[in-house]
């Protein structure tokens, strides 16, 4: 089973030719945005601070899907402030789905590792160095942030939202046995080639997409490490979770149960 406890022996690292220094790992952060004008400057500042203090080689790729609130204008300013080598704006004309946003972002990513996270400040960049340490310790293909293990948790949600999230995760664990404790989270680190392979295999859209990524990872025998995280509800803007998304999630869950 593709989990942190998986017994598969770690793959051997590629040996560099003699006389050549080992390649420094580079981490490409993919930030899909839609109406995140207030949040984007803050999350970018926190990312830059975290990477700079940790001495990590990075780039931040902003994929804005035609936000009507001026998110793209803010991203253009951030590109000027931090430099186009660190902030890359790669916009699209309209909302085309999370999976295609990742595909679009990866076309421009130069890192050998990809970090996906939300731009609404619910995922704090302070956990990224822990993700990286975890990946190196276990040579994992994927490291996933978990709200439901160790000292992980959720803050700022009302009781209804917590019940929906816990219930969705519980049902998913029973039906799919994915080998990971948080299926619906979207704060993860991937080897670039692993993310590319998983996206090719995934057919789901919306909130089911993240869940299918872990299920397909299990099928392909990719190893998964987990880091407990604190998830904080957005301060600015509105949540994109509604009744239609919940119905789509349940339909997608049943489809995965029937096909995996």
Give the span between the Cα atoms of 83 and 95, in whole angstroms: 26
Residue 19 lies in a domain: no
Contacts 24+ apart (CB under 8 A), 9-15: 10/138, 10/139, 10/223, 11/139
Number of structural domains found in the chain:
1
Tell me which residue has tokens 């994927």. Answer: 142
pLDDT at 208 over 60: yes
Query: Residue 110's beta-bridge partner residues?
Result: none
Residue 8 lies in a domain: no
- CB 46 within 8 Å of CB 124: yes
pTM for this entry: 0.82
Residue 206 lies in a domain: yes
Per cent of the chain over pLDDT 70 is 79
pLDDT at 16 over 80: no
Report the chain's mean pLDDT, rounded to a whole number: 84
Tokens at residue 121, please?
């400040």
- Among 33-47, 123-137, 139-153, 202-216, which stretch is predicted with the lowest mean pLDDT? 202-216
- CB 176 within 8 Å of CB 260: yes
Residue 14 lies in a domain: no
Q: Which CATH number does the domain housing residue 183 bear?
A: 3.90.550.10
Q: Which domain holds residue 174?
A: 27-259
Tokens at residue 95, please?
């909302």
DSSP the chain: --STT--PPPPPPPPPPTTSPPPPPEEEEEEEESS-TTTHHHHHHHHHHHHHHHT-EEEEEEEEB--TTSHHHHHHHHHHHH-TTTEEE--BSS---HHHHHHHHHHH---SEEEE--SSSSS-GGGHHHHHHHHHHHT-SEEEEESSSTT-EEES--HHHHHHHHHHHHHHHHHH--S-S-SS---EEEEHHHHHHHHHH----TTHHHHHHHHHHHHTT--EEEEE-EEE--SSS-----HHHHHHHHHHHHHHHHH-
Residue 20 lies in a domain: no
- Residue that wins the pLDDT comparison between 16 and 171: 171
Give the span between the Cα atoms of 4 and 12, in whole angstroms: 18
The tens digit of pLDDT for each residue in 145-198 reads 999 889 988 887 777 777 777 777 777 777 776 678 888 888 999 999 999 999
Residue 127 lies in a domain: yes
Residue 155 lies in a domain: yes
Residue 9 lies in a domain: no
């Amino acid at each position: 089973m593709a989990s942190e406890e998986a017994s598969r022996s770690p793959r051997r690292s590629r040996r560099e030719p003699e006389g050549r220094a080992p390649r420094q790992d580079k981490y490409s952060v993919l930030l899909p945005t839609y109406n995140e004008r207030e949040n984007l400057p803050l999350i970018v500042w926190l990312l830059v601070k975290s990477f700079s203090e940790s001495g990590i080689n990075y780039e931040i790729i902003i994929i804005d899907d035609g936000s009507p609130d001026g998110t793209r204008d803010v991203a253009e300013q951030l590109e000027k402030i931090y430099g186009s080598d660190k902030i890359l704006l790669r916009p699209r004309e309209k909302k085309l789905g999370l999976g295609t946003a990742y595909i679009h972002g990866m076309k421009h990513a130069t890192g050998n590792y990809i970090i996906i996270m939300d731009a609404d400040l619910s995922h704090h960049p302070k956990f990224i160095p822990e993700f990286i340490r975890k990946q190196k310790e276990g040579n994992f293909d994927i490291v996933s942030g978990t709200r439901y293990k160790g000292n992980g948790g959720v803050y700022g949600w009302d009781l209804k939202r917590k019940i929906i999230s816990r219930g969705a995760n519980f049902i998913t664990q029973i039906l799919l046995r994915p080998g990971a404790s948080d299926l619906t989270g979207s704060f993860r680190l991937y080897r670039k080639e692993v993310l590319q392979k998983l996206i090719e295999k995934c057919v789901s859209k919306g909130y089911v997409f993240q869940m299918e990524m872990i299920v397909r990872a299990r099928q392909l025998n990719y190893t998964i490490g987990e880091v407990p995280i604190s998830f904080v509800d957005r301060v600015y803007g509105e949540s994109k979770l509604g009744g239609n998304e919940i119905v789509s999630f349940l339909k997608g869950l049943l489809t995965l149960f029937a096909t995996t």
